[in-house]
Structure 1
Amino acid sequence: MDKKTAIVTGANRGFGLLCSIELACKGYHVLATMRDTRKAEKLVKTAKLRETDRHITIMQLDVTSETSIHDFKEGLTKYSSIDLLLNNAGYALGGFAEEVSIEEFREQFETNVFGVMAVTQAVLPFMRQQGYGKILNMSSISGRFGFPGLSPYAASKHALEGYSESLRFELKPFGIDVFLIEPGSYKTNIWTSGMKVATRSLDKESPYYTYLKRIETELENGRDRLGDPAEIAALVGEIAVGNKTAFRIPAGKGTRGMIYIKSILPWGMLEKMIRRKLNM
């Protein structure tokens, strides 16, 4: 196969689905991976509407399974090159640190951090041997700012940011570029059906219950301001064709401003602003 090859994890919905279509439109043959290929129906339907279905191959991949990753890696040998990896698979776990079990923290890291590391390790030998490649890690504004009630998710994305920094330095000599995409809030189901909340924090007897309700109200009030996820797909397309070269790329309304404010304000002042907004 002479066509450039891109791998997208978590391709059955949200950013992953849209990015798979966008990359196919940009001339890539896309290996659209997901844990359960029975959930590929929406991607297949959308690809047919965009006339990109012949450029997309659905593949099973559970980023938390060594066996699944090994089998996936074996299947890559038939492709002449592996040009781009988009580590997109992930989910958001909400809840307050005291009430999130260590097992729940581990599960969050298994997908959002260790899954990224495992898939990257599987792909790197191909890229290093060919002397080029692009790795795009889907982070979040939560990788730069630890919002209350999201400590598992924020911790996993902060870890991903540190890992990606080291990876960027390590792979540059081999012609491989690493990018961090840092979306703010978008209309994807990670904040609806895709978001999990630790059970104890949902209990009305929880000392954090009122606090949780205030955060949920704030999220609900901002629903109309959520961005169009097609913006992230377009951004991935721009990186793929070489029009974006920055390592960190914040995306979404207010994201750059939030990062800038955090960089210049003393922590005490920033803390007061957040507490005032949440009526804490």
Structure 2
Amino acid sequence: MQPTVVITGATSGFGYHTAIKCAEKGMKVIATIRNEKKLKVFQQAGLEKSVEEKIEVWRLDVTKEASIEDFKNSVAKLERVDVLINNAGFAIGGFLEQVPIKDYRRQFETNVFGIIQLIQAVVPKMRKQKFGKIINVSSVSGLIGFPGLSAYVSSKHALEGLSESLRFELKPFGIDVALIEPGSFETNIWSSGMDLPTAVYDPKSPYEEYVKGIWKALNREDREDPRKVADLMTKLALSESLKKLRYPIGPGVRLNVFLKNTLPWRLLEKVVLSNLLGTHKKGSEEK
């Protein structure tokens, strides 16, 4: 029987490439897209007809109750759902003092509460069929804090804890849960996908020097091809089971997590702050 995978946030990046790769492997793909202007993204991709025919596009905004209800009704009509890949998400930048609480809520609506509702929609069907896989796309930011991204980081930390609990809850029903934890990849979350509230653009901000150092650090990172993550997610989607909870991927992820868990906090703090603040000062001196 042809397995069915539901992939959210399929407009670009990880979700887009995973949808194509899963279709190429013979899976029926439900690709959800929020922006109605991009609903034909796969028709315009120049795919082989046999691949394109396996991709069905649904419009879905995980922050809208009506859209979630439409999703639930559509899922109920499917013969089966073998895999749910929760990839939809975005990042809000800015220091906690600057970011209004409404923006923190907006961050969690997409990155946490939206995911919870989608999981609630597919679990009854997976439980009935006694099989299913839920793959939540987290980030290295779900394992390590980073200044200037507390809204995004805290949402990913929440997703990590949610997924741990969920794996325990669903394992007895034959449903596996796993986390993909990418490092630096070439996706639009760090460019057009970064949301900076108006309050962040304060010319008198006490964080001005700090921000310059952070952006310099972000921009100097080597970003890898997102298709590497898509390869991993496709492999997991096709596997019999998800043997591990966490799948870190990307340059430096394992090393950074190891250092966080090994180094005394005082030393780690000193290294991070001197790297960010020192980076900008050094750049200014060179000018």
User: How does the TM-score come out when normalised to structure 1?
Assistant: 0.95
CA deviation digits over 1:160-197, x for unaligned, max 9? 00000000000000000000000001101100001112
CA contact (8 A) 1:185 1:252 kept: yes
CA deviation digits over 1:92-147, x for unaligned, max 9? 11100111100000000000000000111011111011111000000000000110
CA contact (8 A) 1:139 1:183 kept: yes
Q: Does 1:261 align with 2:259?
A: yes
Evaluate the alpha carbon distance shift between residue 266 and residue 47 of structure 1 in structure 2; reply closer, same or farther with a 3 A threshold. Answer: farther
- Give the equivalent residue in structure 2 for 1:116: 115
Q: What residue identity is the alignment partner of 2:263?
A: L
TM-aligned CA deviation for residue 278 of structure 1: 0.7
Q: Does 1:168 align with 2:167?
A: yes
TM-aligned CA deviation for residue 51 of structure 1: 4.8
Matched residues, number:
277
Q: What residue identity is the alignment partner of 1:232?
A: V
Distance 1:193 1:217 in 2: 17
- Give the equivalent residue in structure 1 for 2:195: 196
SS in 2 for 1:167: helix
CA contact (8 A) 1:200 1:206 kept: no
Q: Does 1:226 align with 2:226?
A: no
SS in 2 for 1:164: helix
Alignment partner of 1:236 out of 233, 238, 243: 233
* RMSD after superposition: 1.4
Gap runs ≥5 in structure 1: none
TM-aligned CA deviation for residue 4 of structure 1: 1.0
CA contact (8 A) 1:202 1:209 kept: no
Distance 1:174 1:214 in 2: 48
- Give the equivalent residue in structure 2 for 1:184: 183
Q: Does 1:9 align with 2:8?
A: yes
Distance 1:75 1:249 in 2: 30
CA deviation digits over 1:53-88, x for unaligned, max 9? 000001011111221111111112332210000000
Q: What residue identity is the alignment partner of 2:247?
A: I
CA contact (8 A) 2:5 2:82 kept: yes
Identity across the alignment (%): 48
- Give the equivalent residue in structure 2 for 1:145: 144
Evaluate the alpha carbon distance shift between residue 216 and residue 159 of structure 1 in structure 2; reply closer, same or farther with a 3 A threshold. Answer: same
User: How does the TM-score come out when normalised to structure 2?
Assistant: 0.93
Gap runs ≥5 in structure 2: 279-287
Q: What residue identity is the alignment partner of 1:256?
A: R
- Give the equivalent residue in structure 2 for 1:39: 38
